Amino acid sequence: MDNRQLPRFELTSWPTREAMVSHGLAINLPWLAFVNVSFALMILLRNVLFHNIDNIYHAGLRLTQMIDALMLGIILFSAVFTLMAWRQKHGVGFVLFITGLLWSLSCYWFITDWQLPHAWPLCVILLLSAMAALYFHPAGLLAFVLPLWLTLPMASVVLNQGINIRFAVVWLVFTLILICGRFILLRWFNEAWQRNQQNQLLIARLDALAHTDPMTETANRRAMENVLESAIQQKKTFTVIMLDVDFFKHYNDSYGHQAGDDCLTRVAQVLKQSVRTPEDVVSRYGGEEFVVILFDCPEKLATQVAARIQESLRTAAIAHEASTVSEYVTVSMGIAGFAPGMSASQIIAQADAALYRAKETGRNRWLS
């Protein structure tokens, strides 16, 4: 049975690694935005929170206006990359790069012009926050971190008018901390992805078991009903063939139930070989009854499928000495075409009525 025939449960895991990364971004980027917006608001309200800090550090009007504009830009772009992550839009990396660039310009001026002692911790917190939020998304992580990471040594060189050995050592150690921290977090992410794949495989197996008749390896009745409901909702055209193995109770009585199971399995194989396309669905309706759903198939064409089923059973030549219509296993079939406004139960009832008439008029035949 082709699994594409059956409706699938919505998986509780992620179908691809990209989907898992998108889910992580939707969760983590709002937190990163909160960090950005919090610091940006603190800087915008610096004169209120820190008692007129612009006068203390003799900040010029032009520079303070530029800093305020950068903070407003950071708040705006933080909102943008949050919305993009929620809606799974492309281009998040570019917006993160702009946000990181705005922070790098601000921190450069904080260090070189204002010489604020807390500018260094601000950069460190931003870098660590980005690493924690984006460790599984290397493009976004580099886009945000790289401008800030390069700003620190550049500001140190300008501030100290040359390379400061102590700063260089601290900067290298901090870089190593970032790289190792991301490596450790990424290992956890990879393990989570592996568990996700295992869960996805398990769900697929359980889903197949829930929709498959284990003996005949065809769709079970539940799957068939779901396929019909889905086809009706999607306004697809189809025809249903309901069939019943003739005198199957006599077959079981003569050959035994194990042979009866083998007989149904062989009949199911004939049905699967007789349909036209992989989209057609063969299902076991119950006992010795089967239902075949033929998509984009008018009733006249369905009779050709019925004739092929009958001929294939003759070729299979499954002995049935207890039958009164043939020395081999035969089936009776009822054909019903779907019409707009019909429900799944109605079309099954119509096919069942046609099957009943075929059995009443001598079996080993089809009627519609």
Half-sphere exposure of 169 (CA within 13 A, CB side): 2
pLDDT tens-digit series, residues 281-309: 999 998 999 999 999 999 889 999 999 99
DSSP-based three-state secondary structure for 132 = helix
pLDDT recorded at residue 329: 97
The structure tokens 């909102």 sit at: 79
Q: Give the torsion sign (CA, 50, 55, 58, 62).
A: positive
User: What pLDDT does 86 receive?
Assistant: 87
pLDDT confidence of 10, banded at 50, 70, 90?
A: very low
Partners of residue 241 on adjacent β-strands: 292, 335
Render pLDDT for 250-275 as a digit per residue (tens, 0 to 9).
999 999 999 999 999 999 999 999 99
Does residue 278 carry a pLDDT above 90?
no
With cut-offs at 50, 70 and 90, classify the pLDDT of residue 205.
Answer: low
Token pair of 349 as six digits: 């009832």
What would the pLDDT profile of 154-200 be if each residue is shown by its tens digit?
999 998 888 899 999 999 999 999 999 999 999 999 998 888 888 77
Mean pLDDT over residues 73-88, rounded? 92
Give residue-wise pLDDT tens across range 136-153.
999 999 999 999 999 999
8 A C-beta contact, residue 147 and residue 161: no
Q: How sure is the predictor about 209, in pLDDT bands with cuts at 50, 70 and 90? A: low
What are the tens digits of pLDDT across the range 16-73? Answer: 888 889 999 999 999 999 999 999 999 999 887 777 776 766 667 788 889 999 999 9
What is the pTM assigned to this prediction? 0.60
193 to 12, 28, 32, 131, 185: CA distances (angstroms):
13, 17, 23, 19, 13
266-270 contacts, C-beta under 8 A, 24 or more apart: 266/316, 266/318, 266/329, 267/216, 267/313, 267/318, 267/329, 267/331, 268/216, 268/217, 268/218, 270/309, 270/312, 270/313, 270/316
Among 113-122, 185-194, 209-218, which range has the highest average pLDDT? Answer: 185-194
User: What pLDDT was estimated at residue 72?
Assistant: 96
pLDDT of residue 70: 94
The distance in angstroms from the start CA to the end CA of the chain is: 26
